[in-house]
Homo-oligomer: A and B are copies of this chain.
Amino acid sequence: MMILSTIAELRKVVVKAKSSGQSIGLVPTMGYLHEGHLTLAKNAREENDVVVMSIFVNPTQFGPNEDFESYPRDLERDKKLAASVGVDYIFAPSVEEMYPHDGGIYIRAGRQAQTLCGASRPSHFDGVLQVVAKLFNLVQPDRAYFGQKDAQQVAIIQTMVRDYNFPVELRVVPVVREEDGLAKSSRNVYLSSIERMQAPVIQQALQIAKLELMDSGDVDKALSQATKIIEHNTAGKIDYLSILTYPDLKEVDEKSDQILLAAAVYIGKTRLIDNLILSLKGELIHV
């Protein structure tokens, strides 16, 4: 496995792969790898000749009061983990390498970014689209791998790929969980042991909401049950708890065939997200 820290090195690898007809799989990450990332990489390994994993904590997707500085980083550990699942190249550029200029041209995410995480992180998805567009242009992957845990991110990137005709196939991989149901996240390391014990309640609350929704079809009732479960079983503060169509992220109505149940909860100072996607296949939902 090779580590590429400059765009010039990466371009050479890409040109060589392309000119010899090899397919490229891209796994974009912010590092501090966990099993979720490794599952993306394993999928990429199975489906492509060359696997490039990017490791870049992208400053433009963090708000001014967010955890960009303290976001966990451990490239040495990441190298070993990436090598263990067959990654060929890690692209780990500096911030200066990725953003040497600011010509003032920005991609603005649309309506899909106004809700859920976008409501409390106003320019987060603009930054995500900026770095993803750059990575797509740099790596020119045949396939790019994203985790369903970031369901809103996946929906918005799908829209960009569709509306801007990026020549890449998005591959979306299910959420990888701890044994107690907590979604794997690089931010889980922030949790104290008491917080760690409370954190799986987020997923449990979503499961209860799902059952209520499938039983009664009542969105408000499902949300209020999930809210109670989180409030009674954690010291957490709910950022949002929402039921929306997927991937449009609109209000649920009778015609919805995929539904997202999504939550963001502050467990102590750590903001965790999780979700479930329900495929209704024509079952009536009362709203």
Residues on A lying within 8 angstroms of B by beta carbon are: 7, 11, 14, 18-19, 21, 101-112, 129-130, 133-134, 137-138, 140, 156, 159-160, 162-167
Contacts and interface: CB of A to CB of B under 8 A. Distances in A.
A129 B107 CA distance: 10
B7 A103 contact: no
B165 A7 contact: yes
Nearest to A114: B104
Given A19-B21, A21-B19, A163 B108 contact: no
A14, A106, A129, A160: residue with the most chain B Cβ atoms closer than 10 Å: A106
Contact of A104 (B14, B21, B112, B138): B112
Contacts of A112: 103-104
The 4 closest A-B pairs by CB, nearest first: A104-B110, A103-B159, A137-B165, A104-B111
Contacts of A7: 165
Contacts of A159: 101, 103-105
A166 B136 CA distance: 9
Contact of A106 (B14, B101, B108, B137): B108
B110 A108 contact: no
B102 A163 contact: yes
15 contacts: A101-B162, A101-B163, A103-B111, A103-B160, A103-B162, A104-B110, A105-B108, A105-B109, A105-B156, A105-B163, A107-B108, A134-B164, A137-B166, A137-B167, A140-B167
